[in-house]
Amino acid sequence: MKALQYRTIGAPPEVVEIDTPEPGPGQVRLKVTAAGVCHSDAFIMGLPGDQYVYGLPLTLGHEGAGIVDKLGDGVVGVQPGDSVAVYGPWGCGTCYTCSQGKENYCPHAAGLGIAPPGLGAPGAMAEYMIVDDPRHLVPLGDLDPVANVSLTDAGLTPYHAIKPSLPKLVPGSVAVVIGAGGLGHVGIQILRAMTNATVVALDVNEDKLQLARDVGAQHVFLSDDDAISEVKSLTHGLGAHAVFDFVGIQPTMTLGQAMIRAEGDQVLVGVGSGSLPVGMLDKPYEATVRSPYWGFRSELFEVLDLARSGAVHVETEVFTLDDAPEAYEKLHAGNLRGRAVIVP
Ligand code: NAD
Ligand code: ZN
């Protein structure tokens, strides 16, 4: 079968021919219907060899959807022909954390050698993929896999980032989204669908600011120091109730801290190399800083239901597997609107 693999440190991913995998006991093989392109892939492919821990060659793709194609021995609960989305942050499935669906925080996964597809295990950018357990499949039903595959990360991650802040996002509140790319443009819609907050989007790219407006941001500003006074003037000088940072580099983290209010939430989702001082005199009183990773298994059901209700969609640009390297080039150049989706 055809697959997109990262094979050499520092080199672009390559389209290669590899053996079609067979599902082992308890595993499920999917015929992939769609796979999303995430900035995290670009991040890991940018790591120097001594920091790269995902194995080579690596079949990319941690946002996956497919049709159940073949069941390993003992698999129950799914049937060949089912259209499913893949929950990616695989855990052990049996510990206290996993029992709550919080497999993204399974404390045993790394020690057991369990890694997400596309981030250690072979991912979704191939004609077929293996999913280690049917519990990692969520029915798509009538949802179009190409339009919705990215909800498994670009939807689930902002959803999980926003949900704990909902009690603070009361009518009259202001929420800031920094970075209106794949995750950010879905985050804006989640905020509009689930809160009464006024949503402000910041980006460095005018096209992304237009996208932010198109998907529901009420105010958009370039991501620079002037944005601080803009947010302050929208909040009687007090600052935002929550800032969701989908970039995570030093300038955006410093910016976020400067525009948050006392008791506000600063939520760091982007995987940049920034850091923040959090001492008594460094930030507003009782401001909370969180750095969430991906989301809970139950939350993927919730995100898909939000899409079913029509409240959230993903802007997609579709590429074939042969053109997948080009999707990564466009991502790198900042030229994608929303999410690139690979359709094998
Ligand atoms: P993307 O490339 O689609 O979007 C990034 C956006 O940020 C772009 O619109 C870009 O113009 C904008 N941007 C760049 N510099 C900026 C700045 N200084 N100020 C404001 N905006 C700026 O990326 P994505 O796929 O949406 O991923 C976003 C980030 O989230 C990445 O760092 C990715 O690795 C990370 N991520 C984290 C998790 C998690 O679980 N925490 C999950 C998925 C992705
Ligand atoms: Zn576990």
pLDDT of res. 72: 98
Low-confidence ranges of the chain (pLDDT < 70): none
Q: What share of the chain is helix, strand, coil (3-state, %, to 5)?
A: 30, 25, 45
The atom number, within ligand 1, closest to the CA of 38 reads: 25
Q: Extract long-range pairs of 112-117: CB within 8 Å, 24+ residues apart.
A: 114/90, 115/54, 115/90, 116/62, 116/88, 116/89, 116/90, 117/61, 117/62, 117/64, 117/86, 117/88, 117/90
Residues having CB within 6 Å of any atom of ligand 1: 38-40, 43, 153, 157, 178-184, 202-205, 208, 223, 246-248, 251-252, 269-272, 292-294, 331, 334
Q: How far is the CA of 25 from the centre of ligand 1 (A)?
A: 37
User: Nearest CA to 258 among 289, 282, 279, 222?
Assistant: 282
User: Nearest CA to 27 among 139, 111, 136?
Assistant: 136
Q: In sequence order, which ranges of the chain are alpha helices (DSSP H)?
A: 39-45, 96-99, 145-148, 156-162, 182-194, 206-214, 226-234, 250-258, 297-308, 324-333
Q: Which ligand is nearest to the CA of 158?
A: 1
Enumerate domains of the chain plus CATH numbers. 2-152+295-343 (3.90.180.10), 156-290 (3.40.50.720)
Rounded to two decimals, the pTM is: 0.98
Q: On the CB side of 45, how many CA atoms lie within 13 Å of its CA?
A: 27
Q: How far is the CA of 324 from the centre of ligand 2 (A)?
A: 33
pLDDT of res. 145: 98
C-alpha 324/C-alpha 344 separation (Å) is 9
Q: pLDDT, tens digit, for every residue of 117-161?
A: 999 999 999 999 999 999 999 999 999 999 999 999 999 999 999
For tokens 């308890």, the residue is 26
C-alpha 191/C-alpha 180 separation (Å) is 13
pLDDT of res. 272: 87
C-alpha 200/C-alpha 155 separation (Å) is 18
pLDDT of res. 153: 98
Q: How far is the CA of 39 from the centre of ligand 1 (A)?
A: 6
